[in-house]
Amino acid sequence: MHIKSFWGVTETTVRIQIYAAITTYCLVAIVEHDLRLERSTFDVLRILSMSLFDKTPIRELFHRVEEVDSITNNRHVQLCLNF
């Protein structure tokens, strides 16, 4: 985990941001483990961040992304949001 910059300079704001980053990382790791995804944590975080306002269930969201990957023969392409 790498925090590039902090939004505040006081000890309290830095601690809150570190705790938020650790909590987010743990939640993404739990989702990755529970859904038995064979993706990196970065990929899981990228997919979740691109679908913040999408009401699609998480399991279906990753299933759709896997379908797009299989269609493109696992080439590295930009994630398509319009399915």
Residue 6 has pLDDT above 70, yes or no: yes
pLDDT of residue 25: 86
pTM metric for this prediction = 0.60
Residue 23: pLDDT band (50, 70, 90) is very high
- For the stretch 28-78, pLDDT in tens is 888 888 888 888 888 888 888 887 787 888 788 777 666 555 555 555 555
Determine the residue type at 77: V
Residue 15 has pLDDT above 60, yes or no: yes
The answer to whether the CB of 60 falls within 8 A of the CB of 73 is no
Distance CA 42, CA 29 (A): 10
Q: Find tokens 């910059």 and name the residue.
A: 5
